[in-house]
Amino acid sequence: QEIGDSYLNFTNLTSQLTAGKPKEKAVLVTLYLQNMEKAVLAAAVRNTKERQNVEGPFMDIETRRVEKCSLMKTFRLKAGNQTMDILCTTIQKESLGGAVAFISYASIGSIINESFVSEENLMTKEKLHNFYLNSKVVSGTMGSRKNTSLSTSINFTFQHEKIKRENEQPLCVYWQGSSWSNEGCQVISSDENQTVCSCSHLSSFAILMASTKLKVDPVLTMITYVGLSLSLLCLFLAALTFLLCRPIQNASTSLHLQLSICLFLAHLLFLSGINRTEPKVLCSIIAGVLHYLYLAAFTWMLLEGLHLFLMVRNLKVANYTSAGKFKKKFMYPFGYGIPALVVAVSAVIGPQNYGTHTHCWLKLDRAFIWSFMGPVAVIILINLLLYFQILWILRSKLSSLNHEVSTIQDTRVMTLKAIAQLFILGCSWGLGFFTFEELGKVIRLVMAYTFTIINVLQGILLFVVHCLLNRQVSLIILSLASQDKKSY
């Protein structure tokens, strides 16, 4: 009880006196850990029981006293869900009074957290990022000098606080007074839920999790670059068609043009800048611009749905005057202003969430990704509601009006094209979102391939549906082709 009370007083005092002062906090924690180990070990030596267990809200403790043992006998001490395996002969040789203690602290890891990690003190084969403690902090003590090499290594089994992701690497670290270090410790085995460490000395230990770069699938990379290059070509041809083909120019083609421009710029920046992680400022800017361009593409798609709905409600295709009015008063301020507002607010709230150590995109380990997925989900839902309402209106009109059948059928074809476009654009980002979730490796790989293939089809679909399948454009292409034949 006295140990528990002292721990509670210590944590309260530390949080009050050392807020914003990491050096003072480290000193206090180090002194406390040392005093706690001495107190627990002294209690174990005084007690006549061979084994003691104490469980409490602040820490769990197990102690062992050893007098006689066989050569290869191993003791397992358990504190909470963490364990320590130590040879009996090691206890006899290294311990004070033949006693060993194992302590698991409930929340001391929140005090000496990942902010006390220095890469200079970590011995790793590759550069690691995004450190965080992923276990309880534990202490093992036998009364011998801390951090001195033992005759045989001691194994610790840590239960993870969070499930280990595929791109994360665990490090077995110990508290060396002012920061965490992995010297003298190595990972024996690790899975999603636990890590086993082997250390050549006793101290206070924890599992430090770090992010590594995911292995790049060369086939997926090839599909991405070849497919997006083809998509860029189709988007460029579509934009030229909407600009130069006067017979088809109206409010609808103006909307298609803006969508093509946004997707073209987004895909171009994606190809050229998604992997430019240095300098960090440039990476953050690229991530912010990509955020804006993809949001703008979805916003223009929302305007397409709204425009179709207004056309059907008025039972006529918008003429040039109404198209100009629609464009001036509504299209540009909404199409480019709303995404700019979302990105501006997101950048003010969490500027550090633009750009990661692997890609120049939004960070996915927090709720920040919803600054993109949230608006996208809302736009897809609104457009689906608009399109289903449009089809319902057209169905009723076809049964009651015969003289407007051709106009209504043309509008229905436009609606079906818009639904296909919405499916391709929306489905790709929906799959892309789920590829970052904790799914099985095979499922996630299938999702990644599907996302990439559908994503590269966006530009191709837009060009085919709105240009090649347009009767007026087809007639113009045929007339140009016939003129070329005559010239030969």
Domains of the chain as residue ranges with CATH: 2-211 (2.60.220.50), 218-487 (1.20.1070.10)
> CA–CA separation, 139 vs 146, rounded Å?
11
Range with top average pLDDT, 116-125, 389-398, 421-430? 116-125
- The residue behind tokens 């990690």 is 117
Query: Burial of 335 by CB count in 10 Å (0-12 exposed, 13-18 middle, 19+ buried)?
Result: buried
Structure confidence at residue 79 (pLDDT):
93
Report how many helices (DSSP H) and strands (DSSP E) the chain contains, helices first: 12, 13
Calculate ∠ Cα 380-384-389, nearest 5°: 155
Structure confidence at residue 122 (pLDDT):
85
pLDDT above 80 for 289: yes
Give the pLDDT mean for 169-193: 91
Q: Which helix (H) or strand (E) element contains residue 451?
A: helix 441-463
The more confidently predicted of residues 203 and 245 is: 203
> CA–CA separation, 228 vs 338, rounded Å?
26
* Beta strands 194-199; 154-159: pairing state: antiparallel
54: β partners: 61
| Residue 435 CA neighbour count, 13 Å, CB half | 15
Calculate ∠ Cα 376-377-382, nearest 5°: 100
CB neighbours of residue 189 within 10 Å: 11
Structure confidence at residue 225 (pLDDT):
86
Structure confidence at residue 20 (pLDDT):
58
pLDDT above 50 for 123: yes
Report the range of poorest mean pLDDT among 191-195, 244-248, 474-478.
Answer: 474-478
Give the pLDDT mean for 198-222: 85
> CA–CA separation, 340 vs 289, rounded Å?
10
pLDDT digits (tens, 9 = 90+) for 395-408: 666 555 554 555 55
Backbone angles phi, psi at 94, to 5 degrees: -105, -15
* Type of residue at 152: T
248: β partners: none
Residues of the chain above pLDDT 70, percent? 75
pTM metric for this prediction? 0.66
Backbone angles phi, psi at 95, to 5 degrees: -90, 165
- DSSP sequence for 457-488: HHHHHHHIIIIIT-HHHHHHHHHHHHHHHHH-
Structure confidence at residue 82 (pLDDT):
95
Range with top average pLDDT, 223-232, 336-345, 462-471? 336-345
Calculate ∠ Cα 179-139-191, nearest 5°: 85
Give the pLDDT mean for 171-176: 93
14 is written with which tokens? 């530390």
Nearest to 36 by CA among 18, 54, 15, 17: 54
Report the range of poorest mean pLDDT among 16-30, 129-143, 181-195, 426-440.
Answer: 426-440
Give the pLDDT mean for 13-42: 76
- DSSP sequence for 285-342: HHHHHHHHHHHHHHHHHHHHHHHHHHHHHHTS---HHHHHHHIIIIIHHHHHHHHHHH
Nearest to 193 by CA among 229, 165, 233: 165
pLDDT above 50 for 169: yes
pLDDT above 90 for 103: yes
